[in-house]
Amino acid sequence: MSENESILSPAAAEAERLQEMALRPKSLEDFTGQSRVSDQIQLLLDAAKSRNHPADHILLSGPPGLGKTTLAMIIASEMNAPIRITSGPAITHAGDLASILSSLVEGEILFLDEIHRMSRPAEELLYLAMEDFRVDVIVGKGAGATAIPLQLPHFTLVGATTRAGLLPSPLRDRFGFTAQLDFYDDASLSRIVKRSAELLEVNIDADAIDEIGSRSRGTPRVANRLLRRVRDFAQVRGDGHIRLADAQAALAMYEVDENGLDRLDRSLLDVLIRRFGGGPVGLTTLAMAIGEEAETIESLAEPFLVRMGFLARTPRGRIATELGWKQLGLTPPVDKAASLASLFDTPSNDA
């Protein structure tokens, strides 16, 4: 089951969301993994507090589910400041952003998720707000229009993006610190699963914790989601205590294999190899072949498959690696490996 799928009713989905919120760490000390980023942010916040001044603007970059929203909430907590949460797609006009900015209070944290999807007019307004803490409100139309400068309180913008490359340089340059979040290792994920199990008051064996952690795609959000599904399995089909066999049976039911690949991952590899001979194939072609949005593949499946070494991106399109073929129990043709080097030379518009 892929990360963007849901078999829950709206009420159950809301309960899941609230439960997920409850599992989030409340301080940098409790934030497992990303120790480099945590230390950098802690230093930045401590310096700001010692000056009794709002922290510099912070950009959090990395794949979905690694803790960008959690870090934004922790930053607000550490600074003892209120937080306002919005997202790039919700800001379609410069006026939308101006309304939010003008209602902020001194020291407030503005968390702007998916900042790379903000409209261009809003981006240009944000430049001035981040640098000079003011916005120009346009009154009137046409030749009689007048720009009235509106002073803003000092605030801290925390932007989050899964695609930092889409941010224009003038916007990136206005952030005082950029944090690049990396995928978590299995040991960190096991610690996260253990902590979440304690918060959920779930009895679970150590080897079951490690099993869930190793199949969590390097992502805490996935780890917590799999833990809840394994808990459900143990409650309904067992005695509530999660043993290794329960974890393995539950994960098999939800189509998460030993490497953490789910249905979407396997569908992508299967189509790429069996239908297109291992590639190269363009992203839009692959998306149409498996009936998914190109953005879903690019943001959810592809980063993990590339990290695992099952898939590679080339100028001519996506290709399945030798490991990708072996993952499906297949052997690539003899001439396939010999031809891979040439795939990095010729560009493709569909890549």
What are the tens digits of pLDDT across the range 286-316? Answer: 889 888 888 888 888 888 888 888 998 888 8
pLDDT of residue 195: 92
What is the share, in percent, of the chain residues with pLDDT greater than 70?
86
Average pLDDT over residues 25-36: 86
Mean pLDDT of the chain: 84
Q: Which of 69, 70, 285, 321 is catalytic?
A: 69
Specify the DSSP class assigned to residue 297.
I
Q: Are residues 168 and 83 in the same domain?
A: yes
Q: How far apart are CA 16 and CA 12, in angstroms?
A: 6
Domain count, the chain: 3
Structure-token pair, residue 58: 């912070």
Instruction: Among 3-7, 115-119, 130-134, 220-224, name the one with the lowest average pLDDT.
Output: 3-7
Q: Are residues 157 and 245 in the same domain?
A: no
CATH number assigned to the domain comprising residue 240: 1.10.8.60
Q: Are residues 287 and 223 in the same domain?
A: no
- Model pTM score: 0.80
pLDDT of residue 249: 93
CATH number assigned to the domain comprising residue 49: 3.40.50.300
Q: Are residues 191 and 174 in the same domain?
A: no
Say if residue 349's pLDDT is above 60.
no
Say if residue 5's pLDDT is above 50.
no
Say if residue 174's pLDDT is above 60.
yes
**Boundary of a domain, candidates 180, 198, 219:** 180
Give burial (CB, 10 Å; 0-12/13-18/19+) of 302. Answer: buried
**Boundary of a domain, candidates 152, 180, 208:** 180
Range of the domain at 82: 34-180
Q: Which of 174, 215, 221, 225 is catalytic?
A: 221
Q: Decide if 205 is catalytic.
A: no
Average pLDDT over residues 185-195: 93
Q: Is residue 28 part of a domain?
A: no
Which residue, 35, 27, 41, is CA-closest to 179? 41
Q: Are residues 158 and 242 in the same domain?
A: no
Q: Decide if 221 is catalytic.
A: yes
Q: Is residue 229 part of a domain?
A: yes
CATH number assigned to the domain comprising residue 276: 1.10.10.10
Average pLDDT over residues 197-221: 92
**Boundary of a domain, candidates 180, 200, 217:** 180
Q: Decide if 113 is catalytic.
A: yes
Q: Which of 162, 219, 285, 321 is catalytic?
A: 162
Q: Which residue has the tokens 């799999």?
A: 226
Q: Decide if 321 is catalytic.
A: no
Q: How far apart are CA 47 and CA 52, in angstroms?
A: 9
Q: Are residues 151 and 192 in the same domain?
A: no
Q: Are residues 78 and 165 in the same domain?
A: yes
Q: Decide if 194 is catalytic.
A: no
